[in-house]
Amino acid sequence: MIQRLSAIATPLLLLCMPFAAMAAPQQSQPAPIERPPIASQIPEIPTIHVESRLVSVALNVVDEHGAPVPGLQAADFEVTEDNRPQKIAFFDRESTTPLEIVLAIDASESVFTDDRLERDAAKTFVKSLLRPQDRIDLMSFSDNVDELVSFTNDARSIDSGLGRIPHGDATALYDAVYLASQRLAEAPSTGGARRVIVLITDGENTTRSGSYDSAVEEAERAGAMIYSLIIVPVDADAGRDTGGEHALIQMANDTGGKYYYVEDKQDLAPAFAHVSDDLRTEYTVGYYAPQRGVDFSGLRHIHMQLKDPALAARYHLRYRTAYYANRQP
């Protein structure tokens, strides 16, 4: 089933017929019914509020050739939030933490021209990446954004959804990023899960709805990394960071993801393989956000670096550089 997503939620009004109107006429005196205790007789159960301030950040470390660097320890890194040093409370070298991925495919006629190649590449990606602890949500976007399969660990459900992609003329790119981020933020998840959006598109938003700024902000609020598989050639607007492919590049950089060019549809499978390798070789770094009283909410900036200057000169770090503290990081 395809669920059409909208950035504006519409309330549902449920109308129920009064019970008395449906009851049959009384024929005989009913047997006494044991009533439950009234509210004043039920002992009050205290409400427990739990606040998690753990900020979990996926981190990629690569050498000058782009190859992942294994074997680093928590003691090798320094973390600051808004220029204040933070103590690393959690560190995972094996990237065993769960993945929550929204795979969003541009179904406009300018991109989705070879159904079989796109489906086969996506199927291979899902089967190679999906582990028991991971979940994938499948979306397509053209004139509208459609959720084809909600979060699942069943690769066969994703396969089925890939065969139901509706085509369109326009490209609602920013709406797709916004709604994918919302789904990641709202879906029940395992604590510390890495949230990822994988986009396949030419990068040109052609609808009047949505905006670059709102899309990136929602991704940052959800703590989602954006991986962009950019179909070229694209109609890029020279000198603008929010037009054509520049939007996808900037979104990937801002959220700690990565972008790949796909010059031929045959290159989709290798590009998916790069994304899979990248996600499998990540470190996960966690720290507890400092409390700031009434100023707890708002955008916080993260900076990570290697302590050893020699290592810092050799290796490149990639991670999300900001998050919003008014939602769970």
* 82 and 116 within one domain: no
* 232 and 271 within one domain: yes
Q: Does any domain span residue 184? A: yes
| Phi, psi (deg, nearest 5) at residue 286 | -130, 145
Q: Does any domain span residue 76? A: yes
Per-residue pLDDT, averaged over 148-153, amounts to 96
* 150 and 65 within one domain: no
Coil, strand, or helix at residue 103? strand
Q: Burial code of 31-44, b = ≥16 C-beta within 10 A, e = fewer? A: eeeeeeeeeeeeee
Count of domains observed in the chain? 2
Q: Is the pLDDT of residue 246 over 50?
A: yes
Q: Does any domain span residue 140? A: yes
Q: Does any domain span residue 21? A: no
Per-residue pLDDT, averaged over 260-275, amounts to 88
DSSP assignments along 291-326, one per residue = P-GGG-SSEEEEEEEESSHHHHHH-EEE---EEETT
* 272 and 145 within one domain: yes
* 270 and 313 within one domain: no
* 186 and 136 within one domain: yes
* Cα separation, 254 vs 219, whole angstroms: 10
Q: Does any domain span residue 33? A: no
- Split at pLDDT 50, 70, 90, the class of 326 is low
User: What pLDDT shows up at residue 325?
Assistant: 81
End-to-end Cα, the chain, rounded Å: 31
User: What pLDDT shows up at residue 24?
Assistant: 44
Tokens of 169: 């003329």
Using a 10 angstrom Cβ sphere, with 0-12 exposed, 13-18 middle and 19 or more buried, the burial of residue 191 is: exposed
Q: Does any domain span residue 325? A: no
pLDDT (tens digit per residue) in 129-138: 999 999 999 9
Q: Does any domain span residue 266? A: yes
* 295 and 164 within one domain: no
* 171 and 114 within one domain: yes
* 200 and 68 within one domain: no
- Percentage of the chain exceeding pLDDT 70: 76
Q: Does any domain span residue 69? A: yes
Which has more pLDDT, 300 or 25? Answer: 300
Strand-pairing partners, residue 55, are 287
Q: Is the pLDDT of residue 81 over 60?
A: yes
* 302 and 228 within one domain: no
From residue 327, give the alpha-carbon distance in Å to each of 5, 42, 163, 220, 296. 22, 34, 35, 10, 10
pLDDT (tens digit per residue) in 110-132: 676 666 778 888 999 999 899 99
Where residue 194 sits, what CATH number does that domain have?
3.40.50.410
Per-residue pLDDT, averaged over 283-303, amounts to 82
User: What pLDDT shows up at residue 15?
Assistant: 36
Domain of 290, in residue numbers: 54-94+283-318
Helix locations, 109-259, DSSP H: 115-129, 155-162, 173-186, 212-222, 245-255
- Split at pLDDT 50, 70, 90, the class of 52 is low
* 104 and 89 within one domain: no
* 259 and 169 within one domain: yes
